Amino acid sequence: MSEFRRDVHPLLNDRLDWNLLRTFRVIGQELSISRAAARLHLTQPAISQALKRLEEQLGCQLIARRGPRFDLTEAGEQIFAIAGEMYGQVSQMSNALQQPGDEVIGKVRLLMISRIVSERFDQFLADFHREHPRVDLEIDVMRSSDIVAALLEKTASLGLSLNRRPQPRLEQRLFLRQRYGFYCGRHHALFGRENLSEADLQSENFVSFTSDQIGGMLSPLTIFRDQQGFSGRIVASSPSLEEVRRLVIAGYGLGCLPEHVVAEDEKNGLLWRLPPREGIADVDIHLLWHREQKMSRAETVFIQSLEQRLMEG
């Protein structure tokens, strides 16, 4: 074997003949010049010449002859492995080119408040996944104020949140209107009592959302209590609907909860509906996203599809 140069140009990829690597990959698989020639439908001298040219370009010996057969040198083993990886990458490229041109691929990060109960939304997710299986969905549950802040900072694709005060930089679409009513839990003294009036509630203590204050996301609930002259204290609070529900069921006090969310709890005897029977306030959940955020195709398609579903009613 002739002496090989060791001063191989660092920009090897600018002048390397990729066909030589493909040929060497077959040589390494067959460990025979004659079998490699037969497999590639070339002559043995052509295969030997390709091997020689590759060794010259790389500046190292790739095979060590052992009589009629040969083995790969240490460098040859490494180049053989690299050639295999490159072949795999090219195969993946071919598969990608064969995919439909309109396939949507990417990730959508959705922020949601807790306990959104919506069969329409559940069906939308099922339909969207069936139509766009390559779109990955990441859902985080957060407080409404944190969702709005994250969207303003452009760290999420979109959000489903309370948003009492429209934000100039956020697009807003009505997603779900929730009717809130008064409830007490099975451990409360009013549980199971019929023919109650609003006057019977005025001195009772309350479980509240931390945003249930004037100017907060749930301030309509505060306004109603103040207008009705309720004098009870707020004895427990949480930003989480799930935890407010838990505290009301435990008997800490009366609570304002979304009717459709706790309907099953009422049916199962965990909660008792209190007057007024028509409820106390409507609180809207909105679909929100930043109007100036540069969206990926996956994010754009998700938002457009959900908007269309909301328009259909």
Same domain assignment for residues 186 and 269 = yes
pLDDT of residue 239: 81
Same domain assignment for residues 215 and 259 = yes
| CATH code of the domain containing 17 | 1.10.10.10
Same domain assignment for residues 202 and 268 = yes
Same domain assignment for residues 207 and 156 = no
Same domain assignment for residues 199 and 248 = yes
pLDDT of residue 34: 83
Q: Which of 66, 98, 130 is the last residue of a domain?
A: 98
| CATH code of the domain containing 240 | 3.40.190.290
Same domain assignment for residues 118 and 204 = no
pLDDT of residue 3: 45
5: in domain: no
Same domain assignment for residues 74 and 110 = no
Provide block-wise average pLDDT over 10 residues at a time, the chain (313 residues). 46 68 84 82 87 86 78 87 72 51 85 88 95 94 88 90 87 92 95 93 89 55 75 88 93 92 95 91 91 91 93 76
* Residues pairing with 161 in the sheet: 286
257: in domain: yes
Total Cβ atoms within 10 A of residue 127: 12
Amino acid at 193: R
Cβ-contact 170, 111 below 8 angstroms: no
The first and second tokens of residue 236, run together, are: 């427990």
Cβ-contact 276, 198 below 8 angstroms: yes
Spatial separation of the C-alpha atoms in residues 65 and 72, rounded to whole Å = 9
∠ at Cα 205 (201, 206), nearest 5°? 95
pLDDT of residue 166: 84
pLDDT of residue 5: 45
pLDDT of residue 88: 60
2: in domain: no
- How far CA 233 is from CA of 32, 83, 202, in Å, comes to 89, 74, 10
| CATH code of the domain containing 118 | 3.40.190.10
Spatial separation of the C-alpha atoms in residues 162 and 144, rounded to whole Å = 6
Q: Which of 98, 126, 141 is the last residue of a domain?
A: 98
pLDDT of residue 79: 86
Spatial separation of the C-alpha atoms in residues 309 and 120, rounded to whole Å = 8
Same domain assignment for residues 160 and 302 = yes
Same domain assignment for residues 159 and 290 = yes
Amino acid at 77: E
Same domain assignment for residues 187 and 279 = yes
6: in domain: no
pLDDT of residue 58: 84
163: in domain: yes
Same domain assignment for residues 19 and 94 = yes
Same domain assignment for residues 16 and 86 = yes
Rg of the chain over CA atoms, in angstroms?
34
